[in-house]
Structures are given as C-alpha cells and as structure tokens.
Structure 1
Amino acid sequence: MSVVGIDLGFQNCYIAVARSGGIETIANEYSDRCTPACVSLATKNRMIGNAAKSQVITNFKNTVHGFKRFHARPFDDLFVQTEKPKLPYSLCKLVNGNTGVKVRYLDEDKVFTVEQITGMLLTKLKETSESALKKPVVDCVISVPGFFTDSERRSVLDATQIAGLNCLRLINDTTAVALAYGIYKQDLPTPEERPRNVVFVDMGHSSFQVSITAFNKGKLKVLATAFDPYLGGRYFDEALVNYFCEEFKSKYKLNVKDNPRALLRLYQECGKLKKLMSANASDLPLNIDCFMNDIDVSSRMNRGHFEDMCAQYLLRVEVPLKAALEQSKLSRDDIYALEIVGGATRMPAIKERIAKFFGKDVSTTLNADEAVARGCALQCAILSPAFMVREFSITDVVPFPITLRWKSPTEGGLGDCEVFSKNHAAPFSKVITFHKKEPFDLEAFYSSPADLPYPDLRIGCFSVQNVVPQPDGDTSKVKVKVRVNVHGIFSVSSASLIEKQKGEGEDMEIECEPMEQNDSGGEDQTKMQVDVEGQSQMDQQNEESRSNNKDGASGEKQDPASGGSKPKVKVKSMDLPVVANTIRQLNREVLHNFVAYERQMITQDKLVKELNDAKNAVEEYVYDLRDKLCGVYEKFVTEEDSKRLTLMLEDTENWLYEDGEDQPKQVYEEKLDALKRLGQPIQDRHREQEDRPRAFEELGKKLQLYIKFVNLHKQKDERYVHLSAEEMSSVEKCVNGSMAWMNSKMNAQSKLTVTQNPVVKVADIITKIQELDTVCNPVMNRPKPMVEEAPDTNDQNSGAHNGPTNRQGADGKGHQTKAGTKDMEVE
C-alpha cells in the first residue's frame, strides 16, 4: 500500500512518500521535487506542472494558475473581483454562483470549475507518485490552510475524488509542520511533565499562518492558531511589479499592465529579483530583452528600497503572532523554540520581525519548502495499516467558532448556541438533546464574521426528519450528534428519538461524547444544560455523565425522584434521518459527471502522447540516420543506395513540417516503417561488422577448450577415464562439425564486401555456441562415480576413527590380535 502526502500549494506542490524506513520527497519527470500548480489547456491535450509553466507566456489565456483561493468562492466575492483583473485567463460565473474558469480546450470554449482544475493538478501529482513508487496510489493526506472554511474544505475533497484519490485526512499546513517536527524528537517531556511549546510560522506565496503547539512524548496539541490570508510572497512581488510598471511607463513610455504577456514576464523577473535580494543587500539589476514593442528595459533595486516599498506588509507580520500568543495564554518565556517554514520566510525583514517579537532567534531546522509535504506523509503513514509508526496523537483546533440556530417554541422565535468555540479541540463530537413535536431544522454558521476570510458565514442547514410527539401528546426527546471531523468539517452526523423522561422541560442540552480512536479532547467530558438564552451552568460531574451515558446505552434509565427504589423505565430509541444541505458543495450527480470527464481527458492526453511519440520517432530516425550516413554507416552502403536514402530522408523531413504536421498515429508509423526498410539493413551490416569478430572469437575459445578435452580423454587422463566412448564420440563429432561450420562461414564472409549483407549473423554464431555447450559441457563436467572402500581391519588407528572402544584392533597389552578372536570387535 502506498503512503503519500501532498502539499497542495498556491504556487508549487510537493509530494512526500513513506518508504525505506523514512520520508522521501519525490521528483517528477523533470527531476524536480517542486511541481508548479499550473494547468495549461490546448487544442489537443492538457499540460500540467512544469510543462504548463512553460506555456504561461505563450498560451497565457488558457494556462490556469493561482486558483487555490477560488475554491467554493462565489463569483461576486470581493476577493474574486479583486483578483480577476490581475489574471491572464478569464473567470466566469457558474450556475450555482461559484467561480468558474473559461478556457479554450479541444478547439471549443470550455468552462471548468475550480474543483475540476484542482482535480487535474492532483491527477498529475498522482501520476508522478505512481511513477516513483511503481505501484498504484489511492490513499493520501493533503494539506490545506488552517483558515479554510467548511465550504473550501469540501471543495478540495471533491477535487480529490475527481482525481481518483481517497483523502484520508485534510490536515492544516502548520499542523503538518508540527508533526514533521515533533515525531522525530526523542527528548520530549513525558505526559506528566510540563509540555514543550513551539511556535510554527508559515509564510508561503499567498498567506501567513501561525500556530502554537504543545508537545509531550507521543502527542502534540495545537493551542492556538492565527493567520493573515492576504499576506504572502505574492504581495511582495506585486509591490515590485507596480514599482517597475510606473518606472517603465515614465522611462520607456510603456503601459505594461495593458499587455498580459509582458506583465507575466515582469512577474517572473520580479520573483527572481526578490530571491536575489534576500541573499544580497547591494544594488541588483533587472534586465528584460524585447520586453514590449521590441524594446529592451533595465532598472535596479536594492533590499533597503524594497523593504521601504513593502512597509505596509511588514507591519502586518506581528498581528497574527500577537493574536496566537494571546489565545494560547502563554508568555514569551514559555516558548521553547520558534520554527519558520515557507518560501517568504527567507526574506531577512520577515525573519527579523518574527525573531524580535518573540525575543529569540528563529530556527530553520525544517526544510522550508518540503516540511508540509513530509508532515502529510507521516500522517498518512500513521493512518495506514501497512506501516508501523511510532505512536503519536494529534489534537488540532477549530479555527472559527461555530453556532447552531434552531426554532424555539418556548420563545416563539429562534434559539442558538455556540457548540464549538474558537480553538476548541478537533476532531470532536457533541450530543445535543432537543425536545420537539415535529421535524425541525438546524442551521450551522460561523459566529465571528470579523475573523472569517470568507464572504458567507453559513455552513449548512441540517433537517432532522420523522420527529413525532409522544403518545400522550408531549414533546419527544431528540438527541442530535454534531461533529467536527478529521478534515475540520462540521456535520450533524446522526439523530435519534427517545422517550422523554419526567421533569425534563428544557429546550436543549449538550453532552460531550468520548471520542473514537485518533480523536482528541477527551478531557472535556462534562454534561452541560443550556437554557434558551444560551447561558450555561454545570449540571453533573464527569462520573454522573459517564453513568448516564452507560444507562442510556442499555436502553434503561432510573427515575431520579425515586431514589433508586423504583424499577428502571425502559426507553425506546429510534434513528432519525438527517438531510444535509451544505453551502456550495457539488451534488453527487455533478461530481460523478466530473469524474467521468476527467477520465476522458486522461485518455485524450494518453492518445496525444502516443501520437507525439510516434511523430518524434520519425523525426529522430531521420536526423540520426542522415547524420550516420555521412559517418559510421558510409562504408556500409553503396553510393546509389546512399543517394536514394538521403533523398527519402529529405522528403520525409519536409513532409514532417508541412503536410505531416498533424497526422494520425498510423501515418507516422507507416512512414517510419518505410524508412527502416532501407535504413535497417545498413544499420544491421554495421552492427554485424562490429560484433561478428567478438562472436567468432568466443566460438573459437569454446572449440579450443573442447578439443583439448577430447585429446586428454584419448591420452587416458585420469580425470576423464570414467567417460564412455559413445559420449566422447558425440562430443568429438560436435566439435568437428562446429569447427567446419566456423571455417566455412569465415571463408564465405571474407569474400563479401561490407556493403553486402553478411552470410552469417552474430545471432547464428551465438546459437552455434549454445549448441556446442549443450552437447559438450555436460559430458566434460560429469564427475567421477563414488567408490566405497571396504574397511581395513589391519589399520591400527581404526580405533581412533571408527569408535570409542579401546579394544578395537589391539589387546590390552598393545599387541595386534587375530581377527575373529574374542578380544576383537569388527563392525
């Protein structure tokens, strides 16, 4: 079973696999461990990854990149509308209101969802993994930003299904980094000791994330997270681009932003310049040849000027750091280490501000680019039954508070309750008890709009059906289980109807359930009762909660007013259907169609690849043969054949770049066969001429060996006297026949020129050697038969060799005895 972790980044992706007793980041077909998050669609096929990145300039309208943040985003969202003018490709509004990508594919205008584009990228990463592992890849763990909402996480999960992957877990970026950091630490404190608190700072190309994690031996617990979704390396690139656009406008009269191709080239050069400035504080040049209108442009920039330009972004670095520290309720002295990852953290100004805020040096022990992918692979190995991994539990957090709202009959309005607070342990389940007479709806939403980097607060609406009143007309007790699962997605997982007990009039109560294996937060086991105003007080202790849960599981509950003297009342429980209507999630039918269409595109890509391979094979054969006709093949072809073949090669080359530019695969194969009918005999004569002497030499050595063997037998050599005359006759006959065959073929071949086809081929000589070995080798290597010798009774040392008795061969006085006497024992 394969174990794969994928860092699905905004700009680049990384794949890590667990094998050979460790975690390895694998390379793609370009020997590059970094795969660009680009998808280029053309008239015949798709190009993904490195191949797509090379099309960013030439096919900019159909090359999609920077699409990660469009997952489940409505087209009218302010973020989408802000990004739209910056993109060289077109965005459009889908039927469900989400953002779609409009491109030209297979000579038709196509609209793809962001899930489909991400599915294409994941298909490429899956193929890269399978190529490296030499086995199918299905299970994986994929990273997402910690601030992704339910809708965005569901969208990524849909993309994994389109690609044919089974995502075992969506893990937050910083949590994956924490796992990669902590699982190898041998000196972590025991669970009874004070935990080791480590800050992880991840600034990538598009976002800034901070996490504070507490480590004990065998576990990690995320204490707090904070983020700035609009602070990353791309915003520093934009600052450079805007500066040079203004400079080129005044210096060269060029309006760069009106030319998408020039703007993309400027983005690429500014990205390179930013990296150079991180390592060099002096003035650095920016030169672009034929930038626009055949004009070469040049400029200069240094680190100090660059930091002044980006002051507004640098000031925002401390805000998430401060928020995370406050939420964790720790002081700076409680922080053990400060680990930074992500490409943008290589900027000196970023590192300085992070170190200054915490008052300690930053640590770069983790690979800044690959740490997330390695953590994902470790999590996948932990979840996979095929790997034995050190026991290590992970407790993540809920990034935004989640509230449930329902219709409250007691108040004639709406009731609500915050079921998961910010930084609540996750995954986690809670059981909420309602008292209802009819089906009801639960609306889940995020209750902190100021912190949410998403335009819609709604998570979904969950309808609890088949609720009926009690036989006496009173309300029924309905227990609803809500859950934040391993993906960080909220759901109403189940509901059940049970008989209402006496004295219960509350509208709703919440129970925290013990978690399954791999779940966290088991210490919060108290039972809460919540009134309609949302105020809460402690109802029972942990022991009572566990006792009630046990009673409820057995289907019986004791009346508390009876004091334990009355018999228990049996309670009936019936599962209720829950219909979920989540926000902006693909329905099953649409998702099934996307999966089928992805398979069609994969098949189309394979057909185009086979076609290109066939065409390239013709082109390669033309160039290779024409070059060798004037070189190593020159003496192996007649002048007439050489002229005819050269003319045919020239005609084929002209055809390739004219009528043969776009032909079916079979046409290219026929062209190649026609060329090989003339060229292959020449290649064969050259190869035979090179290999024939070595083959004849090998046959000659074998013949000399077997001739010597025959002569030794005739001379009665003691090594071969056991061989029969018939066997030796067959050997001698085979040797003489092979010798005659070799001499005749060598004589016949010597009479031919190198332009004629040989009378004997290397394959024939090898066959003759094998025949010779088959006949002669078993006879020559047959061992002598074993001869058993009778024991010698006169051997005075036989007693020492044949047994422990001291009477064997000599009497007690040391005189030799006669055989057969009573003093002699012979076995």
Structure 2
Amino acid sequence: MSDRISEDDEKIAVGIDMGARSCCVGIWHQGKVEILPNEHGNRRTPCFVSFTETEILVGEAAKDQLLVNPSNTVFDVRTLIGKRYSDAQVQEELKHWPFRVTAGPDDKPVITVMFRGQETQYKPEEVLAMVLTKMLTIAATFVGKPIKTAVISVPAHFEDSERYGMKAVAKIAGLEKLKYMVKEPVAATLAYMCIENVEVMRSREMRYLIFDFGARALDVCLIDFEENICDVLTQSSDPSLGGQSLDDRLLHHFAQQIEKKLQTDIFVDSEALYRLKSVCEELGRKLSCSSECSTEMVWKGSEIQLSITRDEFEDMSIDLVQSCIAQVEKCLSYARKYKMEVDRFILVGGSSRIPKLRSLLQDMFGKELNDEINPDEVVAHGATIQAARNLDLYAIPGDENLSGETYCLIGPDLMPFNLGAETADGDLSVLVRRNTYINNKITGTQSFSTLFDNQTSVVLHIYEGQCPSAKDNRLVATLELSGLVPAPKGTPQVQVAFSVQEDGLLTVVAEEKEAGVRTEMSFPAFSWSHSCLSRKLTIDQETQLLADGEEKRILRGLPEYWEREGTTSLNLLSGACIQAGPC
C-alpha cells in the first residue's frame, strides 16, 4: 500500500501549529497522526520570509538570509497580527527587528522591504500567509493534491482581533474554509486524550494542566475533559515571557564577553549580532541535554571561543524560571483548585525542556511531567486530531454517537479580559470579568449617574483590558444616551448592562427609567474587538438609529496589571459626559 493518500479520498484532515518562530503540520493518515517533514527533512519550519532581487524565500532558506539580507528578512510577524502600530508591544519589538515597519492606514502596521529592486509594502497578514502557504504545500506534496481546508492553532492569550487576523491569513493562503481554530493548550489536551486509557476516560473526569512555553509567550491553562467536552477552566498568560527571553540572557552574556575581549560592541554590527543570536539559540537547546556547551564564532578575523555551563545559564535565568512557576500558581488560584487535583501536567513548546524548570515543576506537583508526545509537535498533533474529528475520520471516547459537524468538542470559552465602563475618576468599572465562561450568555450590570446638574445626555466609554485605569485599556466603543430629565447631579439612575453571547456578540444596554429612555447596541461576532478601531455610536431616543463617528486610539491592556475589586455599585459617568442642559 502506498504511503500517500489516495487521490480520490476527499476527506483530508490537516492540522497546523502556527507558532511564533516555527510551524509544524500534521495529517491524518492510516488511522493516526503523521507529522510531515519539510524539504530539508525537518518537522518544524522556521516562520521566516525573505525578499530578494529574484524571489521570495520561506522557511529555512529565508532564515539563512538573515545574515546577508537582514533588512528584507521578516520574522516574528505573528506578533503584528491584530495589533496597531502604536501599541506598546509593537513599539518595543521595533527596537530589535532589522526590517522596517511603519504605520499604515488606521494605524495598522505595514512591512516595507526591497523586492526585485523595488520598495514593496506588505500587510503582516500577507507575510504570515506566505508561511501558511508553505505549510499547506508540505501537506499537498504528501497527498498529491491541493489542501483547501485545515485546522490551525492559536495561542490561548490571543484576543479576538488576533484570531480574526488569523482568519484573514487563512483566506489569503487559499483555504476555502477555515474549519476550526483551536487554542494551543486545547490541541495539546486532544493529543493526550488519544493515548489515555479508554475506560478511565469514560468513567471519570480528567483534569489537565497545560504548560505551553513557546518561543515568544507562556500560556498556562487548566482544562477538564468529561462527557466529550473539553472545558477550559482558567488560563494565565505572559505574552512577553518565552524561550526568546532565555536566549536574550545568553546573548547579553556572550556580548559582554566579546566586548571585554575585543573592546568592541557587537550590537553595532547587525550581521554579527544575528550570527550570535543563532549561536545562542543552538546553545540554549544543547544545554537542555548537556551540562556544558561550547562553540566558536568568527568575527572581523578573530576566532572567538564561546562556552557556558548549565549552572551558569540557570543562575542568569532563575528569575525567568520563577516567573513561569508564578504563572502556574496564578492559573490554579484563578480556578480555586489544588495541585493535587491535576491528573496530567502536559509540557508544550521547546522551551519546556529546560531542566531547572522541569525540576521545579516536578517538585511543585510531586509527580512526573508528561512529555510522551514531542512538546514541539503536540499542538500540531492535536490540531490534526480535531481536523480528523471534523471530517468524521476519528472518534475519541464519547464521540461514538456523534457525527461530523454535530458535536461540540470544546466547552465554553473564557473571557480573555475584563469588560467595563469608565467612571468619573478615570477608573474602569468592571461589568464582566476575565475568565468568566461565555456560556450561552453572560451578563453584568452597574448603576451610573450624572456628573453635573441638569445634565440631559451622558456618554459611556466602554473598555476591555486588565488595567485599573480605564485609559490604559482598549477603548471598544462610545455610547451616548440622551433625553434625560434635568435634575441635580447624581439623581438620574442610568442602568448599564453588558451581555456576551457564545458567538462573541456583545450587547450594551443603557436605560434611565425616570425619563423612559433606553439605548442599545450590539457588535457582531468578533467585530467589537477585531476592528482595531473604536466606533462612536450615537443612538437617538426616538429613531434608534446608529451612526458611525470618528475613530479613537485604542490602548491595549498591560499584562503587569491585574483586576482589582469592583467599584461601588453607583458610579458617576466620566467627565466626557455631554452637558446638554444648563448648569
């Protein structure tokens, strides 16, 4: 029997792990997942795209161009998906990238490169689509025909704007229908479900803690699986902590050695800098299985010997390892669960191989960590299983009475951020808290009042994010309620209600019963966050018509802030309230 899939087999299940630094593709073949190698025989492909005088290179060939063509070699592009150019995270990344990123229309980032002798601009989605196309080509080569549907993974910490951006990437890459986007921790859970004892899975609930330590971010999720439902209980993320953070420690360590030896700063030479970065990535991997590593690097005619022991590396990165442990504790705390209640601790991502980190986690849980499935491939493995289930090619315990599109594998999703309104003192009054289940419909209600005497109109500023101060979060929209009865300040009682449905539909209702006025607006699924714009919506009391207004700058919630206790039930609307009547 040929290893290839028959050309008349219409059901081709493909799952793709769209990582920050590298990607992995799997296919359902002969009743199991097969991770496919690229043309170089490697099972992970670098997310690099390089533009030359004659062609566009993707993958390992593009990564090789980083040393000789850095300004036209693009990487870490997933970081830009769903972001605005003015976002603090984007501005920080710009300091380290050799390629040029500028602000385009609506403050969206634009990548500028020289291609075939001409300055050319690309959207981040277009560049990432080139990487996705590469992965689809690997699968198409294996099956002998184009791939039109697939399941792709997204990080647990992705916002709706980023998920929507990934849908755009899939469309540009030629996927006729993005069958499913699965969170990376959920995909990892799926992969391990397939190797569980069937009778155990049918008899009781299984609880998984997913420790996803990738190149650019750390996601920790607590997931329950029972009666065919994969239920995400809580998640805790640090989008700024990843394997690159550890590589950077090595980079600065060796840069200091080189500066001391040669009396020169390697950071002023981009070619030498990226060669050293590549060396640090390689040494970081080797230190996971060796107690000491060394290599040579040639720069400006000098041969530089670089060496480091595992103990030295652990000493210089112990604070980062402790930050990882803190995220695990935070995840358990959010769910109000104890570590002894976890059945499996699943490791995901190449950075999870760090011996010191593994040792501390194992001591913390008092049990063996689970890495039976390659941590570099487990997400692609799970995404492929989900693709096979979508096409009715595979059933895990509990699927037997379900068919194709009719089952719901993933349980209720969680709100990734707080949703609330700005108060008079500039605080965010939270109506719907993060990690709340989006199950059919979740609601939150608060009472607000006026800031001035005889105020006949108020304006409600709606934000999402984690910061106590409203202005440090993402402005979602501005809603105006007019027609209030003139009265002393603080007298009108404006009831504001938020509701979020399973499909992502956000509805905001503002009502003042004394005057008999009410306004309501709804955002279609994904639009209230993915638009990357805020919309000023004015709802007239009589006509109830919606009118789009000017765009506002969005401020992203900062990860170092966490929610605090809610404010009092009666809040004054902020100073932005419209003062239509006399004072």
TM-score by length of 1: 0.53
Of residues 423-432 and 79-88 in structure 1, the stretch that sits farther from structure 2 once superposed is 423-432
Q: SS where residue 395 of structure 1 aligns?
A: coil
Q: Which amino acid aligns with 2:260?
A: S
Q: For the Cα contact (< 8 Å) 1:461–1:580, is it kept in 2?
A: no
Higher helix share: 1
The answer for unaligned runs of 5 or more in structure 1 is 435-439, 465-478, 510-574, 586-827
Q: SS where residue 352 of structure 2 aligns?
A: helix
> C-alpha distance in 2, partners of 1:268/1:396?
41
Structure-2 change in CA distance of 1:356 and 1:88 (3 Å): same
Q: For the Cα contact (< 8 Å) 1:151–1:584, is it kept in 2?
A: no
RMSD: 4.0
> C-alpha distance in 1, partners of 2:123/2:281?
28
Question: What are the within-5 Å matches in structure 2 for residues 99-114 of structure 1?
Answer: 99-114=109-124
1:185 has 2:199 as partner = no
Q: Which amino acid aligns with 1:286?
A: T
For 1:176, the equivalent position in structure 2 comes to 187
> C-alpha distance in 1, partners of 2:340/2:355?
24
Q: SS where residue 330 of structure 1 aligns?
A: coil
For 1:286, the equivalent position in structure 2 comes to 295
- Cα deviation, 1:306-332, whole Å, max 9, x if unaligned, reads 111112212212111111111111112
> C-alpha distance in 2, partners of 1:228/1:505?
45
Pick one of 261, 280, 286 that aligns with 1:276: 286
Q: For the Cα contact (< 8 Å) 1:218–1:393, is it kept in 2?
A: yes
- Cα deviation, 1:628-675, whole Å, max 9, x if unaligned, reads xxxxxxxxxxxxxxxxxxxxxxxxxxxxxxxxxxxxxxxxxxxxxxxx
Pick one of 392, 395, 398 that aligns with 1:389: 395
Pick one of 289, 311, 316 that aligns with 2:318: 311
Structure-2 change in CA distance of 1:234 and 1:212 (3 Å): same
Q: Which amino acid aligns with 1:397?
A: D
Count of residues in correspondence between the two structures: 488
1:457 has 2:467 as partner = no
Q: For the Cα contact (< 8 Å) 2:432–2:443, is it kept in 1?
A: no
For 1:423, the equivalent position in structure 2 comes to 435
Q: Which amino acid aligns with 1:181?
A: Y
Q: SS where residue 105 of structure 2 aligns?
A: coil
For 2:205, the equivalent position in structure 1 comes to 195
Pick one of 487, 501, 509 that aligns with 1:483: 501
For 1:346, the equivalent position in structure 2 comes to 353
> C-alpha distance in 1, partners of 2:199/2:237?
27
Structure-2 change in CA distance of 1:354 and 1:506 (3 Å): farther
Structure-2 change in CA distance of 1:278 and 1:447 (3 Å): closer
For 1:258, the equivalent position in structure 2 comes to 268
Q: Which amino acid aligns with 1:372?
A: V
Q: For the Cα contact (< 8 Å) 1:177–1:371, is it kept in 2?
A: yes
> C-alpha distance in 1, partners of 2:410/2:209?
16
1:41 has 2:59 as partner = no
Q: Which amino acid aligns with 1:161?
A: K
1:115 has 2:125 as partner = yes
Of residues 181-190 and 219-228 in structure 1, the stretch that sits farther from structure 2 once superposed is 181-190
Q: For the Cα contact (< 8 Å) 1:461–1:581, is it kept in 2?
A: no
Identity of aligned residues (%): 23
> C-alpha distance in 2, partners of 1:214/1:581?
44
Q: Which amino acid aligns with 1:445?
A: Y
Pick one of 449, 464, 468 that aligns with 1:446: 464
> C-alpha distance in 2, partners of 1:581/1:133?
50
Q: Which amino acid aligns with 1:398?
A: L
Structure-2 change in CA distance of 1:428 and 1:138 (3 Å): farther
Structure-2 change in CA distance of 1:179 and 1:248 (3 Å): same
Question: What are the within-5 Å matches in structure 2 for residues 10-49 of structure 1?
Answer: 10-49=20-59
Q: For the Cα contact (< 8 Å) 2:218–2:238, is it kept in 1?
A: yes
Question: What are the within-5 Å matches in structure 2 for residues 220-619 of structure 1?
Answer: 220-281=230-291, 283-288=292-297, 291-384=298-391, 387-390=393-396, 391=399, 393-403=409-419, 420-426=432-438, 428-429=440-441, 445-449=463-467, 456-459=473-476, 482-485=500-503, 490-492=504-506
Q: Which has the higher contact order (CA 8 A, sep 6+)?
A: 2
Q: For the Cα contact (< 8 Å) 2:234–2:414, is it kept in 1?
A: no
> C-alpha distance in 2, partners of 1:90/1:399?
34
Question: What are the within-5 Å matches in structure 2 for residues 695-734 of structure 1?
Answer: none
For 1:821, the equivalent position in structure 2 comes to none
- Cα deviation, 1:587-634, whole Å, max 9, x if unaligned, reads xxxxxxxxxxxxxxxxxxxxxxxxxxxxxxxxxxxxxxxxxxxxxxxx
- Cα deviation, 1:16-48, whole Å, max 9, x if unaligned, reads 122322222112222222111000111222111
- Cα deviation, 1:205-227, whole Å, max 9, x if unaligned, reads 11111111112242221111111
The answer for unaligned runs of 5 or more in structure 2 is 1-10, 400-407, 447-457, 482-496, 521-543, 555-583
Q: Which amino acid aligns with 1:305?
A: E
Q: SS where residue 211 of structure 1 aligns?
A: strand
For 1:523, the equivalent position in structure 2 comes to none
TM-score by length of 2: 0.74
For 2:134, the equivalent position in structure 1 comes to 124
Structure-2 change in CA distance of 1:388 and 1:208 (3 Å): closer
For 2:532, the equivalent position in structure 1 comes to none
Q: SS where residue 277 of structure 2 aligns?
A: helix
Alpha-carbon shift at residue 184 of structure 1 (Å): 4.2
Q: SS where residue 73 of structure 1 aligns?
A: coil
Alpha-carbon shift at residue 429 of structure 1 (Å): 3.9
Q: For the Cα contact (< 8 Å) 2:385–2:394, is it kept in 1?
A: no
